[in-house]
A and B are shown apart, each in its own frame.
Chain A
Amino acid sequence: KQEVTQIPAALSVPEGENLVLNCSFTDSAIYNLQWFRQDPGKGLTSLLLIQSSQREQTSGRLNASLDKSSGRSTLYIAASQPGDSATYLCAVRSTGANSKLTFGKGITLSVRP
């Protein structure tokens, strides 16, 4: 059974800091991994999608890496801003007949002005 872990559950940093959010998963048999952002009371917004054959994806100040063999992914946020404050979730799509997305519980990020 796939399990996705995100530690720590919460993080507070000063504005301007570069930061790394971690995600680990137990089963490396995945099609892809996706990072999402969720603002309070809202749905999820997709940030980056990494296919299992890829090592990283970049979008603006965000860079996500994937090491499938070790079951790890990181989301790098450069020059953090108060507007980056949100909960960040990673999810993996498992292979197999019952392919589904399994989510971590998220990291709640607070960027202090």
Chain B
Amino acid sequence: KAGVTQTPRYLIKTRGQQVTLSCSPISGHRSVSWYQQTPGQGLQFLFEYFSETQRNKGNFPGRFSGRQFSNSRSEMNVSTLELGDSALYLCASSVGWGVTGNTIYFGEGSWLTVV
């Protein structure tokens, strides 16, 4: 069974531009969450979706947004890119959400470089 798929894997953007990252969860998984990983801050939670609804959100500015589609695929968007947005963006999926205590599975990530 295919794992979590993230596209694109690598991208370079210029300050002020916007970017959209895509995540396809494991088949049958309805929860998708997003994380930002940087050397200084480590892994930080961005948001989590379940059944097309955002269930919770981390402490990131409004430039970071996301959505989930009816087939559970998810996208995240970062507008007005800043140099500090350069990071590995990781998507994870699980069968359920929150209290269900399911194992979560990560994709390989999207490496974003802002220049």
Chain A residues proximal to chain B, CB less than 8 Å: 31-32, 34, 36, 42-46, 49, 51, 89, 91, 93, 95, 97-106
Contact = CB atoms under 8 A, between A and B. Distances in A.
B42 A44 contact: no
A31 B101 contact: yes
Contact of B101 (A42, A44, A49, A105): A49
Question: Closest 4 A-B residue pairs measured CB to CB?
Answer: A43-B106, A103-B43, A105-B42, A44-B106
B104 interface: yes
* B48, B101, B102, B105 interface centre (most CB from chain A within 10 Å): B101
B86 to A, nearest CB: 15
Contacts of A45: 106
B101 A43 contact: no
A1 to B, nearest CB: 10
Contacts of B101: 31-32, 49, 51, 93
Nearest to B100: A31
Contact of B56 (A43, A89, A100): A100
B103 A46 contact: yes
Contact of A46 (B56, B99, B104): B104
A43 B107 contact: yes
Given A43-B4, A97-B56, 20 more contacts: A31-B98, A31-B99, A34-B104, A42-B109, A43-B106, A43-B107, A43-B109, A44-B90, A45-B106, A46-B104, A46-B105, A46-B106, A49-B102, A91-B43, A95-B99, A98-B56, A100-B45, A104-B42, A105-B42, A106-B42
B40 to A, nearest CB: 9
Contacts of B58: 100
A103 B42 contact: yes
Contacts of B108: 42-43
B48 A100 contact: yes
A2 to B, nearest CB: 10
